[in-house]
Structure 1
Amino acid sequence: MEYKNLAKLYNKLESTTKRLEKTDIIADFLKKTETELLPTVTLLLLGRVFPTWSEEELGIGPKLLMKAISIVTGASVDEIEEEIREQGDIGKASEVLFKRKSQLTFTPHPLTVEKVYNDLKKLAYITGKGAQSKKIDILIGILSLASPIEAKYITRTILEELRVGAGEGIISDAISLAFNIDKEIVERAYMLTNDLGMVAKVAKSEGEAGLRRLSLEPGRPVKPMLAQLAESIESAIEELGEALCETKYDGVRVQIHRKDDKILIFTRRLENISNAVPEIIKRVEKSLPQEDFIVEGEIIVNIEGRPGSFQYILQRVKRKYDIEEMITRIPLTLYLFDILYYRGPLIDEPFKERRKILESIIRPIDGKIELSRQLKVTTENIKDGISLFRESIKEGHEGIMIKDPNAPYIPGIRGKKMLKYKAEPETLDLVVIGGTYGKGKRAHLIGSYLLAARDDETGELKTVAHVATGLDDKTLKELTERLKEITIEEKGRKIRVKPEIIIEVAYSEIVKSPEYESGYSLRFPVVKRIRDDLSLEDVDTIKRIESLFKP
């Protein structure tokens, strides 16, 4: 398939904000796409080269990309930066620059979707001495063959900033429409596989029957089931009738897979951290059966029997070197609370049955790998749930989880079957998309951050607040350096950055505001912590902000 056809599709999608129109456009395109190419096209429609749970990443920042654009177009990096400021986006800037180039030269046009995708994939595997030079050569190879409109979307894809409003929900609906399969069947297939490309391919080649055969599989992570906030312990128990209440641990939520002889550990953002926590893998090996399984739990820092700071756990799971030293310095405990697969998928089983299975197969190691503390609470003994909450807080944990014992496990869904109740007010997880440098002595630091939430319909990021308080000087410096690396545009003291750093924000109130694209703003926002354990898919949605808004 010629890449220009995909670029034209992107252009159509960008020209409308209507969900149904986008769905129709994508459905028509998927119908015409060769079956074997559907996984690739679906990924590229999401603006990705690799699935969210893949360990691979392109490793291309704006500066390296601008260098490649400079070589291909003849424009200086300063001219490229000026064009980006003018256009507000590296894609549009590339289109303008490539139009100027095309007036001077004529290049044959052999670019295909397969070539663009395969060449971009190669970038992830280039490491070591001379890596940057080799990556530049690949970028030049692709861009030198690109027309202006192709350059627009290739550059955006490289920086994972496609911005055409084709989110997972729209693509899922488009698959349903294209191949005339019920939405719920498509959604369930995606829920179980976490792979829209596979779903599209099977939908076209095998239809509904093929999708029904797709299932959970150890080694391929699925999105975690998410919790809503409970207004109170009493109201939650009364609504459910009975609940299984558990201590809510403040660590990194993990999904642990055993596939044959291999144990893999994924974070909530489906990042593979197996190499960073070898002691956890050894304990899982001892404590759980030598059979395929998927279990879920929370890893916390355990310092003399008390939970350590959340930032300590990030030091562990992000660590790539000197792991053995860190094992001693930052000891970890794993608490398991759910099981999704054992001798077959279990997600349709009630939670109380899944818990029984988990309890039957684990051999706990005190202080190393344990079951989450849990008790059954009904309307008759609500005080026991309140006592568990108080004990959990006293021990340094976040609060409690309140779970429906009869609920199935629903990947990626935030519902009332699983609730959380914390000591602190609710917070929002928002992504940094821009910032402002300080003045005077702080002119070298980015002290104010522009934050965005995710549009549920399109997946687009829409502004919701500026935050400038809550960070100590050390974290402020570190964050400034990180933001410099992903800066896309700089204009005076203001910058725009690639959206990848997620911040947990506390606030006093949500108010309606025309100042921000989301239509909402936060009063007195404060940074609670940087959430390197979350991905863009975990950023809170505008719908969630609406649900928390109290007129």
Structure 2
Amino acid sequence: MKYQELVNVYSALEETTKRLEKTEIIVDFIKDLDEETLEQVGLLILGTIFPAWSDEEIGIGTKLVTKAVADATGTTVDKVEDAVREEGDIGSACVKLFSNKSQTTFFSKPLTISFVFDSLRKLSKISGPRSTNRKIDIILELLSVASATEAKYLTRTILEELRIGVGEGIVRDAIAQAFNIDKSIVERAVMLTNDLGLVSRVAKTEGSDGLEKLNLTPGTPVKPMLAQLAPPLPEILEEMGIALCETKYDGIRLQIHRNGDEITIFTRRLENITHALPEIVELMDEHLPHDDYIVEGEVIATRDGKPLSFQNILHRVRRKHNIDEAIENVPLKVYLFDLLYYKKPMIDKPLINRRQKLEEIVDDTVDEINLSNMVYGTSENINEVESLFELSINQNHEGIMIKDAKEPYIPGLRGKKMLKYKAEPETLDMVVLGGVHGIGKRENFVGSYLVGLRDENDEFKTVAYVGTGLDDATLEYLTGKMEEYKLTEKGRDITVEPKIILEIAFSEIVESPEYETGYSLRFPVVKNIRKDKGLKDVDTVERLISMYNTQ
């Protein structure tokens, strides 16, 4: 199938903001695709060529794409950069440049979806001497025969910035509708495999029965079950009957897989960080059985036996070089709290059973590997739960988690079966959409940041400006990033690509017509720069409204 046909779909999707219209456009396109093309489109429609959990990536930066566009259009890098500034992004710049390009390739075959897909995957495997030139050659091979609109979406896909307002939820709904399958079945399959290409193909070829057979596979991460803010303790324990209450650690959530002899570690974003944590791999190998498993836990950084701040562990797991030095300087501890797979999938079993099996298989006789500090809570022993909370706070942890002991594991969903009970105010993970340059002491910085949340169409809506909680070093870092991601600048105001994610604390949610959500935050404070999270982790407008209704 010609790539231009997919490009036409991209264009139609970019022209509408309505979720149902986007879904219908995708349904009409995918329902008659052959198996191979369908699996490729299941990924390409999200602007990617690998499943979310894969550690493979195209790995091409803006400068390389800019050089390839200049070569393909017979112009200079400076002129390409000028066009990007004028048009707002590399894709829109390509429409202008390719409409007037001076180089023409005669007798060329039109691009196909398969050729584009395979070519982009080749980019991820190129390394070593002359790798830059070899990568440009592949990109040029595509761009030299591309139409203006094909070049627009090719360059955006290479840079993983497709910008058509389509998220996983829309594609998931389209698959269900196209192949007449219940949405809940498709949703579960996506949560367990995190591969829309695979789910698309199985939906077409095997229907509901095939999707229901998809299950956990060690080595392929599952979306984590998510928590929401807890109401008062008596109310929780009365409703749950029996709750598993455990310390909430201020670290990075891990999903650790063993598949045969291979141990792989993923973050909650499904990012593979195995290379950064060799000592954790060694701990798992020594203190857990050599059977296939998937365990969940939290890793924290420590010094003199006390937990360090979240930023310490973040810097530690993002380390790519001098790992041995980092191991010595930033010791880690793991606290395991759930077992999703042991020889076979366990997510449908009650939490109390999963915890009991976890306790059976973990050897926690060394200080570096632990089970989470836990008590079973009921309305009759609320004092024990309160004592665990106080102990957790006194040990410099965040609070406690409260989980319904009777419930299965529900991948990817946030609900009342898993709650967080914290001493500090609730926070939201928000994306920076713009900002305002400061005055006075902050005249050299972007001093205030416009933040937003995801709506149902996976687009970002503004909520508030925040400028509190930032020291000069952080302001300098953020200002640099704002310049890197800048889209427009007018006077003191700047708009940026949605790349920077901040954890924002606040005292209250209030109604406000000033912002696109219709709500705003009182006394917002930046708690953290969440380099460990991606755009899919940005909190939703739906959650904001839910919190407003229950505050």
Assess same fold via TM > 0.5.
yes
Structure 1 partner of 2:544: 545
Offset at residue 517 of structure 1 (A)? 3.1
TM-score for the superposition, normalised by structure 1 = 0.94
Structure 1 residue 181 corresponds to structure 2 residue 181: yes
Structure 2 partner of 1:383: 383
Offset at residue 439 of structure 1 (A)? 5.1
Written as runs of structure 1 = structure 2, the 5 A alignment for 1:336-355 is 336-355=336-355
Written as runs of structure 1 = structure 2, the 5 A alignment for 1:84-95 is 84-95=84-95
Amino acid at match of 2:24: D
Q: Give me the whole-angstrom Cα distance separating, in 2, the residues matched to 1:82 and 1:240.
A: 60
* Residues 1:239 and 1:286: Cα distance change in structure 2 (over 3 Å): same
Q: Give me the whole-angstrom Cα distance separating, in 2, the residues matched to 1:444 and 1:114.
A: 48
Structure 1 partner of 2:508: 509
Q: Give me the whole-angstrom Cα distance separating, in 1, the residues matched to 2:39 and 2:484.
A: 31
Relative contact order higher in (CA < 8 Å, ≥ 6 apart) = 1
Query: Contact 1:62–1:487 (CA<8 Å) still a contact in 2?
Result: no
Structure 2 partner of 1:305: 305
Q: Give me the whole-angstrom Cα distance separating, in 2, the residues matched to 1:41 and 1:150.
A: 15
- CA-atom RMSD in angstroms: 2.3
Q: Give me the whole-angstrom Cα distance separating, in 2, the residues matched to 1:390 and 1:143.
A: 61
CA deviations 1:268-321 (Å, max 9, x no partner) are 111111111111111111111010000000001122221111111012100111
Query: Contact 1:452–1:462 (CA<8 Å) still a contact in 2?
Result: yes
Query: Contact 1:62–1:488 (CA<8 Å) still a contact in 2?
Result: no
Written as runs of structure 1 = structure 2, the 5 A alignment for 1:289-328 is 289-328=289-328
Structure 2 partner of 1:190: 190
Stretch moving more, 86-95 or 351-360: 86-95
Written as runs of structure 1 = structure 2, the 5 A alignment for 1:92-131 is 92-101=92-101, 105=104, 108=108, 110-128=110-128, 130-131=130-131
Structure 1 partner of 2:519: 520
Offset at residue 406 of structure 1 (A)? 0.7
Q: Give me the whole-angstrom Cα distance separating, in 2, the residues matched to 1:277 and 1:414.
A: 28
Q: Give me the whole-angstrom Cα distance separating, in 1, the residues matched to 2:221 and 2:260.
A: 15
Offset at residue 486 of structure 1 (A)? 4.2
* Residues 1:468 and 1:379: Cα distance change in structure 2 (over 3 Å): same
Stretch moving more, 318-327 or 248-257: 318-327
Structure 2 partner of 1:157: 157
Structure 1 partner of 2:475: 476
CA deviations 1:153-181 (Å, max 9, x no partner) are 22222232222222211211111111122
Gap regions ≥5 residues in structure 2: none
Structure 1 residue 216 corresponds to structure 2 residue 223: no
Structure 1 partner of 2:260: 260
Q: Give me the whole-angstrom Cα distance separating, in 1, the residues matched to 2:73 and 2:466.
A: 38
Structure 1 partner of 2:72: 72
Query: Contact 2:105–2:145 (CA<8 Å) still a contact in 1?
Result: no
Q: Give me the whole-angstrom Cα distance separating, in 2, the residues matched to 1:44 and 1:493.
A: 37
Stretch moving more, 487-496 or 519-528: 487-496
Q: Report SS of the residue matched to 2:509.
A: strand
Offset at residue 451 of structure 1 (A)? 2.2
Query: Contact 2:85–2:487 (CA<8 Å) still a contact in 1?
Result: no
Q: Give me the whole-angstrom Cα distance separating, in 1, the residues matched to 2:443 and 2:4.
A: 44
Stretch moving more, 108-117 or 264-273: 108-117
Q: Report SS of the residue matched to 1:6.
A: helix
**Identical counterparts, % of pairs:** 58
* Residues 1:498 and 1:277: Cα distance change in structure 2 (over 3 Å): same
Tell me the matched-pair count: 549
Structure 2 partner of 1:137: 137
Offset at residue 487 of structure 1 (A)? 4.2
Amino acid at match of 2:49: V
Q: Give me the whole-angstrom Cα distance separating, in 2, the residues matched to 1:523 and 1:80.
A: 43
Amino acid at match of 2:155: T
Gap regions ≥5 residues in structure 1: none
Query: Contact 1:81–1:489 (CA<8 Å) still a contact in 2?
Result: no
Stretch moving more, 51-60 or 33-42: 51-60
* Residues 1:76 and 1:463: Cα distance change in structure 2 (over 3 Å): farther
Q: Report SS of the residue matched to 1:206.
A: helix
